[in-house]
Amino acid sequence: MSTTETTEQTTAETEIRELIADREAAMQARDAARFVAHYAPEIVKFDLAPPLRNAGPQLLDPAGMAAWLSSFADDDTFEFAVTDLDVTTDGSLAFASSLNRLAATPRGATQSFELWYRSTLCLRNTEGTWRVVHEHSSTPFYMDGTLRAATDLKP
């Protein structure tokens, strides 16, 4: 690998890490518009909640995410963090995996919850701008007959 290629990759990795840090800050600020601004129009999402697959430009509309964010109490129990971030880049593509922590109190509830989940982001650089083209968020589930989502795991 040439020095130029290495430098390009370092720059790209820095840009991807900045993008993911901005998504993290957007979640912490509960700013749906800032969060969805990083999606490409061709985004395909595999979300924590059904359905199996979400796609289409309506995912760039902050309304859906704003509604979800407003289901949580507007207090300091709302926390979000990206950990164990691993970023790979080459050319116009990148992917990143992480373990994310969400803590919040559902509006009207008396207790907060804490959820660790896995995140995979696939990104493409178009005309100098990185955008998320695929996002996969999940917990595993217990294959013990209960089929409970494993929402109690910690790294």
Considering CB under 8 A, how many residues would be counted as binding its own copies? Answer: 44
List binders of its own copies among 14-73 (CB under 8 A): 44, 46-53
Asked if 13 interacts with its own copies (CB under 8 A), we say no
Instruction: Pick from 81, 102, 105, 124 the residue near its own copies by CB under 8 A.
Output: 124
Tell me how far apart the alpha carbons of residues 72 and 60 are, in angstroms, rounded to a whole number.
21
Residue 137 · residue 47 · CB < 8 Å: yes
- For its own copies, the closer of residues 37 and 115 by Cβ is 115
Cα–Cα–Cα angle for 116, 130, 55, rounded to 5 degrees: 65
Which of 76, 80, 45, 40 is closest to 57 using CA atoms?
40
**Phi and psi at residue 17, to the nearest 5°:** -65, -35
| 80 forms part of the interface with its own copies (CB under 8 A) | no
State the Cα angle at 21 between 64 and 118, rounded to 5°: 65
Q: Binders of its own copies among 128-147, rule CB under 8 A?
A: 133-134, 136, 138-143, 147
Q: Which is nearer to its own copies, 54 or 77 (CB)?
A: 54
Interface with its own copies, residue 108, by CB under 8 A: no
